Structure 1
Amino acid sequence: MTSPLDKLREYGYELPMPKAPVATYIPVTRTGNIIYVSGQISSDANGVAEGKLGDTMNVVQGGNAAELAAVNFLSQVVHSAGIDLAKVKRVLKLTVFVNSTPDFAEHHLVANGASNRIVGVLGEKGKHS
C-alpha cells in the first residue's frame, strides 16, 4: 500500500517545513482528537502565488495555487500537530478563499485544486465538507 507521503511525491511534492506564523495565531490547535489548522497560503520555495482570478490568473493557475495551500495544510498536520498522515481519520472541513474579480464565477473549480490534492493523498479520509 502506498503511503500518503509517497502519494504526495507522486504528485511532485515533498512535504515542506511550515512557515512561521506572521501574527499572534498558532498554526494548529488540538482539542481531544480533533485538530484545527489555520488558514494556509499558496506558497512554496518559489514564493507566494499572486494574482486575481478573472484578471491576472486563470482557473488552472488558481487551482494550482489552491493545491499549494493544500500541501501546506498537510505540512501543518505533520510538522505542527505531529500526526502521521497515515493516521488521519478524516478531514472534516476545508474552506478555500479565492481572490477574484466580482464577475468571476468558477470558485468551485479553483477550490477543487485543494480538494483534489487532499483526496489524492489521503483517499476517502480526505473527503470533506
Structure 2
Amino acid sequence: MDRAAADTPYARLAALGLALPKAPPPIANFVTHVREGDLLFLSGQGPREADGHLHAGKVGADVSVEEAYAHARLAGLNLIAVMHAALGDLGRVRRVVKLLGMVNGTPDFADHPQVINGCSDLFVAVFGEAGRHARSAVGFGSLPGNITVEIEAIVAVRD
C-alpha cells in the first residue's frame, strides 16, 4: 500500500483495529443527518454496538469513567458511520467543526470532558488535524434508553 492510500480515514480506522459499522437508524421521528451548504449536521449517536446492544447506566455510579470513555469512542464510531453513509467517502470530511457530548451522570459527576475525550481522541486519530474541533461536554439527568453518552457533531465537507 502506498503512503497516500495508507493515509486515509479508512486506513486509520483499520490501523486502530476498527471496522466501520452500518449507520444506526434513527430511534424516533428524525433523520441521522442534514446537509446545509458545506456543513453536515449529525444527529446524536449513542454507544450502540454493531449487534444493536446499547450501553446503559449512570456514569459515576453504574459505569466508570474508563467504561464511559469507551462508550463515547463507540458513539464516535457510529458518527463516522453516518458521515460515510451521508458522504459516500470519508475523504470528503474537510473538518470536524463542533461536538456536543452529553453524559448520563450522577448529580455529583464532574469528569464529563474525560468521558467525551473517547470520541474526540477517535476523531483526531481518524481525521488527523481535520478531526480537531470545538466541543461542549455536559451532564444530563437522563438520556434516551438510559444510555451512558450521546454525541452529536457538525462537520464541514468538500464536494
Offset, 1:6? 1.4
- Tell me the matched-pair count: 128
Q: Which runs of 5+ in 2 are unaligned?
A: 135-159
Of 105, 130, 138, 1:125 maps to 130
Greater shift in the superposed pair: 42-51 or 61-70? 42-51
TM-score (norm 2): 0.77
Q: Does 1:32 align with 2:41?
A: no
In structure 2, the partner of 1:78 is 84
The match for 1:96 is 101
Give the letter for the 1:113 counterpart. Answer: G
- Pick the structure with more strand per residue: 2
Q: CA deviation at 1:5?
A: 1.0
Identity among equivalent positions (%) equals 37
Distance 2:12 2:54 in 1: 24
- Indicate whether 1:67 and 2:58 are aligned: no
Which amino acid is the alignment partner of residue 57 of structure 1? V
What amino acid maps onto 2:127 in structure 1? L
- The DSSP-based 3-state class of the residue aligned with 1:30 is strand
CA distance in 2, matches of 1:82, 1:48: 25
The corresponding residue for 2:112 is 107
- The two structures have a TM-score, normalised by structure 1, of 0.94
Query: What SS does the aligned partner of 1:65 have?
Result: helix
Question: By how many angstroms is 1:85 displaced?
Answer: 1.4
The one of 53, 58, 61 aligned to 1:55: 61
| Runs of 4+ deviating beyond 3 Å | none
Q: Kindly tell me: are residues 83 and 90 of structure 1, through their superposed partners in 2, closer, same or farther at Cα, counting changes over 3 Å?
A: farther
Q: What secondary structure, in the 3-state scheme, does the structure 1 residue paired with 2:107 have?
A: coil
Counterpart for residue 42 of structure 1: 47
Deviation of 1:12 after TM superposition, in Å, equals 2.0
One-letter identity of the residue aligned with 1:103: D
**SS state at 1:118 partner:** helix
Gaps of 5+ in 1: none
Deviation of 1:52 (Å): 1.2
Q: Does 1:3 align with 2:8?
A: yes
Matched AA of 2:132? K
